[in-house]
Amino acid sequence: MKVGVIGGGAIGLLVASYLHEQYDVTIYTRRQEQADLLNRQKLRLIKHGNEQNIPVRAIPFGWERVEADLLFITVKQYDLAHVIEQWNEWSETATLIFLQNGMGHIRLLSQLKQRNVVIGVVEHGALKRDDRTVEHTGIGKITLSLFQGQFGRLKRLLNASIPDFPIGYEEDWYGMLTKKLVVNALVNPLTAVLRVRNGELLNVHEYKEMMRLLFTEVCAALALSNGEEAWEHIVRICEKTANNRSSMLSDLEQGRKTEIEAILGYVMEKGNERNIPTPLCQFLFHAVKGMEGRDWNE
């Protein structure tokens, strides 16, 4: 079975490194130099301090026709529109799997009417060390849910049992994405603005209060009915990832753009539609936008 992975970032390299043993994997990178490096020096997976060098095929995205039974799209939210626009014209892929945080992609997926589209939520921790190296920093799972069409040959993957890389299934894609969105809407901007690891949001009483206030606003904007359950889920994630720097904090530290639009931007939009004011979300949204691209050490 042919598996394509668009994006040679942390998640793209992680997916490729775990699927390569059972499938014929090709990574589609944005830059030629990354593809050359992967082809020449192999993909390196670091886990528990051990490293493994994995032979993969890498091609700059757009250079040749993508022919895959399954295509994982692992670019950040803000690069998706460009990717969808580009491959829509010539791709012959059977099933597309989108692995983004946030909700920004849902609107874009309506452009893919004739396709089998699957959405996934990633609960692994992955850190890209360099263009050919990914560290698996937290073993979690990927949960997939059918957005439209059929699973196609993805069914085989759902039944495959790959050590340290479990793949689960969830019926309700909206519920699944919303649950993750709430976590990211709280943990990511707060850790980014306060410049703390995830666990500090529970350890410092005042930060926990801030998180609770934001939680109340986010629940109202999204019209969540299972409030206490959602709160307990967030607390569990903060405990489990206590030592993590959230992806938003890391993006800011490294001078990269964040996915704030697809996370808090979406919550604000939903609040607006329901006439629910979202001042805390707006405050944090502007704080994060203002921090993007600034020199962290200033």
Residue numbers annotated as active site: 180
77 scored as a contact of ligand NDP (CB under 6 A):
yes
Tokens representing 254 are 């490294």
Closest C-alpha among 230, 235, 221 to residue 281: 221
Asked if 104 touches ligand NDP (CB under 6 A), the answer is no
9 scored as a contact of ligand NDP (CB under 6 A): yes
**Phi and psi of 283, rounded to 5°?**
-60, -50
Contacting ligand NDP (CB under 6 A), which of 15, 99, 157, 260? 99
Q: How many CB atoms lie within 10 A of CB 162?
A: 12
Q: Which residues contact 250 (CB under 8 A, 6 or more apart)?
A: none
Interatomic CA distance for residues 16 and 167, integer angstroms:
14
Residue 115 partner contact from ligand NDP, ligand KPL, none using kind-dependent CB cut-offs of 5 to 8 Å: none
Q: Which is nearer to ligand KPL, 4 or 125 (CB)?
A: 125
Beta bridge partners of 138: 125
Chain residues binding ligand KPL by CB under 6 A are 101, 183-184, 187-188, 198, 237, 241, 244, 246-247
Q: Is 37 in the site for ligand NDP (CB under 6 A)?
A: no
Residue 4 and residue 58: Cα distance in Å, rounded? 10
Which of the listed partners (ligand KPL, ligand NDP, none) does 79 bind, with a CB threshold of 5 to 8 Å by partner kind?
A: ligand NDP
For tokens 């022919």, what's the residue? Answer: 67
Quick check: 197 binds ligand NDP (CB under 6 A)? Answer: no
Please report, as ranges, the residues that interact with ligand NDP according to CB under 6 A.
Answer: 6-12, 28-31, 61, 74-77, 79, 82-83, 99-101, 122, 125-126, 128, 247, 259
